[in-house]
Structure formats: C-alpha cells, structure tokens
Amino acid sequence: MSRYFIDRNAKYLVLACASISFIILAAIAIFTLREALPAFQHVGFIQLIFGTTWRPTIGQFGILPMIIGSIAVTLGAMILAIPLGLGCAVLLAEVAPHRVRQFLRPAVEILVGIPSVVYGLIGILLIVPLIRHIGGSGYSVAAGALVLTAMVLPTIISISEDSIRAVPRRYKEGALALGATHWQTIWHVLIPAARSGITAGIILGMGRAIGEAMAMIMVTGNAVQIPTSPLDPTRTLAGGIAVEINYASGLHQSALFAIGVVLFILILAINSIAILAIRRGRRVQDVG
C-alpha cells in the first residue's frame, strides 16, 4: 500500500514539475511577444527583419546585420566543432583505453560548467591577438567562431559518444565477423547507425552557439554591420540585446524584445529539429 502511494504521488509530482516548466516557458514567450508588439507595429516585421541599419536614436531598427552575424559565427563554429567533436566522441567510445577514457570524459564534462565570460576572457587574451596578426582589429567573426567552438564541443562530444555507445553490439560484431577492420566498422557501421543522435548533438550545439551573448560581446567587436570576411567585426542577436538593454526605453526597448522573439523562434526551431532527430534515431534502433 505504501509503495503504491509513493508511486502515485511521485507521478503527480513529476507531472506538476513538467506543467510548471511549461507554464514558465509559455509565460516568457507571451511576455516577450507582448513587449515586442509595439516594434512590430511601428517598424513593421519586414523592415525589422530585413533592414540593414540599426540606429535607435533616429528610429531605424534593422536587425539583418545581427542575424547574419549570428549565423556567420555559428556556422564557423560548427565547421570546426563537428569534426573535432565527432573525432573525440569516437575516441572516447571506441578507441581510447579505459584509463584514458576515465581522464578525458570528466575533462569534457568540466568544460560545460565553465562560465561563458571565462571563454570570452580567454578569447580576448589569446585568440584576438593571434587574429590581429593576420589582419584587422582581431575582434571579428573568426574570433567569435573559435570561442564558440570550445563552448559547443562538450555538447557535441557527450551526445555523439552516447549515440555511438547506444548502437546495438551485434552491428559491430557482425561487421568484424565479415572481415571489416576496427576503423572500417567505426566509419561505415557505427557512425551511420548513430547518425540521428549525432545530428541531434550537432543541432543542440548550434542552439547553444546562436544564443550565446557574453562571450560574443567580448570578442566579436559589436559592430552592427554585415560582415564580408571572417576578419570583420560583427554583432550577434543575443549580444545586441545584452549590450543595449540596460539603457533602452520606449520603442528601442521594444525592438530589443523583438530581437528576443526572433532569437526565441530560432532556438525553438533548432531544438525541435534535435528532438525529432533523437526520436527518429530511437525508432531506427528499436527496429534494428
């Protein structure tokens, strides 16, 4: 009787926690949209999204340079992080000895807990001076991409490693029994079988990258312009909100909330794609 009572109440407790989380998310979305409505009404959705000039003092609120800046640093980070993260995941899941694995896995997990401001500080002290030797001021898309690479690697590594480990053992045994080498089994059997989970990890890392604010403020230069090369300074959507929200008021403040709505939609879409990819991977594994 007591066990039944505990199980039933635990179910209600989990349901209550999930409901509260959903209510908080809905409240944030409604509040942000309500505060952004004046900007959408006065500026116009098309002009706000596709405008190229951001000058709040004269009533110009075009966020296209910030959208392109966010996409540029995120894509740059993904180009670097995907091969590095996948390689590290394969190392941890299939190649590294047990002792090495015991050392590397906690090290990867520690990276998740490092504050973004620390990544930004390292970027200012190490990455920006290196890029300055190549050209420009050093505060650039390239600096932002390199810092984001280090920030998203733990997400990609952890989820990719778990996906590779979740592949049924008979896949590997069957490939080896047919004469495939260990590396052939990894690249032609295990990674394709874990493709959905790896994709989900990449997409979640992308969501983390596009929503990063503090580190991007510190290393990208915060110039509201469309970058034409990796050495150009830029400003991201999240960085734009963080830089100006303290002194904004009126329509300017509403425009910043409109940026938040755009960012919210982008991250929600990315996370939804990741959830679908994870579910698809589970179905494939269940069928296998």
Q: Is residue 24 part of a domain?
A: no
Q: Is residue 2 part of a domain?
A: no
Dihedral, CA of residue 68, residue 71, residue 74 and residue 80, to nearest 10: -90
Q: What is the rounded distance in angstroms from the CA atom of residue 151 to the CA atom of residue 49?
A: 28
pLDDT at 68: 92
Q: Is residue 17 part of a domain?
A: no
pLDDT at 79: 93
Q: What is the rounded distance in angstroms from the CA atom of residue 41 to the CA atom of residue 138?
A: 38
Range of the domain at 79: 47-287
Q: Is residue 271 part of a domain?
A: yes
Give per-residue pLDDT as tens, 176-222: 888 888 888 888 888 888 888 888 888 888 888 888 888 899 999 88
Q: Is residue 255 part of a domain?
A: yes
Q: Per the structure block, which two tokens stand in for 91?
A: 């190392």
Q: Is residue 30 part of a domain?
A: no
Residue type, 37: L
pLDDT at 5: 65
Q: Is residue 84 part of a domain?
A: yes
pLDDT at 93: 86
Question: CA torsion sign, 123 to 263 to 235 to 228?
Answer: positive
Write the DSSP string, 178-237: TT--HHHHIIIIIHHHTHHHHHHHHHHHHHHHHT--HHHHHHSB---S--SSTTS-B--H
pTM over 0.95: no
Give per-residue pLDDT as tens, 25-67: 889 889 999 999 999 888 888 888 888 888 888 888 889 999 9
How many independent structural domains does the chain possess? 1
Q: Is residue 80 part of a domain?
A: yes
Give per-residue pLDDT as tens, 162-188: 888 888 888 888 888 888 888 888 888
The CATH number covering residue 129 comes to 1.10.3720.10
Q: Per the structure block, which two tokens stand in for 180?
A: 């495939």
